Amino acid sequence: MKPTLRTLYWWLLGLVLALLVYILSSGPVLAASFWLREATGWDGWYASIYLYIPLFALGHNNPIDWYIEFWVRLLGTVGPG
């Protein structure tokens, strides 16, 4: 089966949507895990960070970092360290 332009379009759309969901989930998931760490004292909640390591590779002072920080402040918690 020869790939068509339509097939390429749907694959790219799926990829973009998956990346969007990945980025948008980072703030609430990380903030909730930081909050749970503070509430329970169990460091295992920090394991959720491993899922988002590619986002941390972008460094500080970028829109994704600001988005994560927004969620962390919204839940009134702090990150590790």
DSSP string covering 10-74, please?
Answer: HHHHHHHHHHHHHHHHHHHHHHHHHHHHHHH--GGGGGGGGGGHHHHTT-SSSHHHHHHHHHHHH
Res. 51: pLDDT tops 90? yes
Amino acid at residue number 16: V
37 pLDDT higher than 80: yes
Q: Over the stretch 11-30, which tens digit does the pLDDT of each residue have?
A: 999 999 999 999 999 999 99
Quote the pTM value: 0.87
Count CA atoms closer than 13 A to 32's CA, side-chain side: 6
For residues 62-70, average pLDDT: 95
- Label residue 47 by pLDDT band (50, 70, 90): very high
